[in-house]
Amino acid sequence: MAGIFEDQEYNKSATQYVAHGVEDQEPRPPYHDSPSSFRAIIPDDGHIVSQHEQQNLIRGLSQRHVQMIAIAGAIGTGLFLGLGGSIATGGPLGALLGYVFVGAVVCAIQFSLGEVSALLPVTGSFVRHAEVLVDPALAFAVGWNVVYGCFISVPSEISASVVLIQYWTDINAAVWVTILIIISVVVAISFIRVYGEVEFVFAILKILLVIFVVILGLVIDLGGVPGVPRLGFHYWKDPGSFVEYIATGSWGCFLGFWAVMTNAVYSFAGVESLAMAAAETKNPRHNIPKACKRVFARITIFYLAAVLVVGMIVSSQDDRLGWDGSTAAQSPFVIAASDAGIKAIPSIVNAVCLTSAWSASNQSILAGTRTLYGLAIKGHAPKVFLWTSKWGVPYMCVLLQVAFSLLAYMCISNEALTVFFWFVDLTAAGTLVSWITIALNHIRLLKALKKQGISPDQLPWHNRITKYTSWFALIYCIIILLTGGFTVFTKGNWDPASFVSSYLDIPLVLGAYGGYKLIHRTKIVSLQAVPITQALEEAENDPDNVPIVKNRSFWSKINILWG
């Protein structure tokens, strides 16, 4: 592993492969028209942002779309339904500290992603970055891990959506699965702007609900509901600010806090997807970093405020927090509202949770299809996945995604659904693998800059603290990945299924990495060979690389949501 962080020898062919994608190929036209009027694309052509992306993908995502995709990725069912489990496991203060630490990690990851994406705004984001900055074998391993995880996530989110719909109706689940698959396919094959508008609307709904439930929680806590006493920080004192988990005393409180952090990671899963469609984003070298920068404010406002309020209005010993029904009934906000006699809240929370689940499905489709497209550009996937429609959509990638979406019909059978979600759990660690790759890419970029004598200030976007925060995120993510299933190692809690779901992804990724290196004889990219100068030249010559004029009005300074 030391070679990943330090310079080492390399051969000419390896350098050509990393910098150009192929070895000594004759230049050919970027595409040809197929009989069906779709465009089939040939291999990479030597550019950082390839001609395939420039000519066959359409930049339909504007700055507001990218901003809201970041919000939609950070707010999901984990916030509305999962906070109760975190309070029950770690207590109000343990949950708050857990989300603070993981929030800091997410912010560090987003800064790393924004800095590298501003220089290399390619389809596939950090997967393609690993090809240039670390090792083609790592891009292959992590890329297929992302594709697999995203493609399996789609039917799981559709299944979760059906469960939420059945909160209101008893109509056969197959009907709702069919409707949701059709709608998802329509959005997936449409112009990328359609996806951006859908996520924009969903993000607005999520923001409004978060603001509403936080204010509602404060009103309930402060005794603003007739007949409900003022709570204040009562539940922080009784039963206490921490919960003993597995063990007793201080050690048990620490384990509860640690269990919250491992759960919080998956609540934030998806925030990295905002850069997956960089080649389909207008002015990506400015808009993507700007979206990444604002993650810290969103996490502070939404998650930390929500965790704080939930810990004030619901007891960590409330048995309803442990119910695993995956509907609004388990939401701590619904529990508090029901106790206060407010009956309309469950349906409101359930409706927005439904949009959150479907939004997560759409994000998985975008991340999975664009990663697969990026793998095909570099020859890590069949070239058939490079075919795009006249709207600039890699439709063959979408068709493969549709095939996986059909697995959602397994939710019709409870036994099949149990097995299916067990397989879904196998990809849970994939989020941490992706974050580790993002941090590693950024560390390698900074080392390459130093090796080549180029100032980081020449990057399209750079923040001085990232040279420290990327190491923090890398180390912290590795620790969480290795300890994510610590419960199974405690006395009396061994569970083979939990062990496999927590750790199987590690040998799968390492096996894919080692196998690719063994077959293709790739080497870790030399720091001197990282094509930074070429990337900077392409950025300078990019006609879309136009600095955004800052709005210095009062409202622009306090607008931390999408401006």
pLDDT-derived band at 425 (thresholds 50, 70, 90) equals low
| 215/21: higher pLDDT | 215
pLDDT in tens, 276-286: 777 678 888 88
What is the pLDDT at residue 138?
95
Domain range annotation of the chain: 2-25+50-550
Question: Closest Cα partner for 524 from 45, 15, 184?
Answer: 15
CA distance 91 to 176: 37
pLDDT, mean of residues 260-270: 81
What is the pLDDT at residue 53?
65
* Burial degree of 171 (CB within 10 A; 0-12, 13-18, 19+): exposed
Domain 2-25+50-550 top-level CATH class: mainly alpha
Most confident range (mean pLDDT) of 112-126, 152-166, 350-364 is 112-126
Contact 121, 288 (CB under 8 A): yes
SS3 426: coil
Radius of gyration, alpha carbons of the chain: 24
pLDDT-derived band at 549 (thresholds 50, 70, 90) equals low
What is the pLDDT at residue 22?
38
What is the pLDDT at residue 39?
36
CA distance 365 to 342: 37
State the maximum Cα–Cα separation within the chain, in Å, rounded to a whole number.
79
pLDDT, mean of residues 371-392: 88
pLDDT, mean of residues 55-78: 72
pLDDT, mean of residues 373-397: 89
Most confident range (mean pLDDT) of 50-54, 80-84, 240-244, 328-332 is 240-244
What is the pLDDT at residue 25?
39
Looking at every residue in the chain, the average pLDDT score rounds to 81
CA distance 181 to 410: 13
pLDDT in tens, 470-502: 999 999 999 999 998 898 998 888 988 788 888
pLDDT at 221 over 50: yes
What is the pLDDT at residue 152?
86
What is the pLDDT at residue 23?
38
What is the pLDDT at residue 444?
96
Question: Closest Cα partner for 272 from 256, 302, 295?
Answer: 295
* Burial degree of 481 (CB within 10 A; 0-12, 13-18, 19+): buried
Contact 374, 128 (CB under 8 A): yes
CA distance 501 to 249: 29
Residue 41, strand partner residues: 31
CA distance 331 to 334: 5
What is the pLDDT at residue 333?
82
pLDDT at 68 over 80: no
pLDDT at 440 over 80: yes
* Burial degree of 239 (CB within 10 A; 0-12, 13-18, 19+): middle
What is the pLDDT at residue 15?
39
pLDDT-derived band at 327 (thresholds 50, 70, 90) equals low
What is the pLDDT at residue 145?
92
SS3 39: strand
Give me the percent of the chain exceeding a pLDDT of 70. 80
What is the pLDDT at residue 149?
87
pLDDT-derived band at 287 (thresholds 50, 70, 90) equals confident
pLDDT in tens, 507-536: 999 999 999 999 999 999 999 999 999 999
Most confident range (mean pLDDT) of 29-38, 309-318, 346-355 is 309-318
pLDDT in tens, 235-251: 999 898 999 999 999 99
CA distance 396 to 402: 10
Most confident range (mean pLDDT) of 30-39, 94-103, 183-192, 327-336 is 94-103
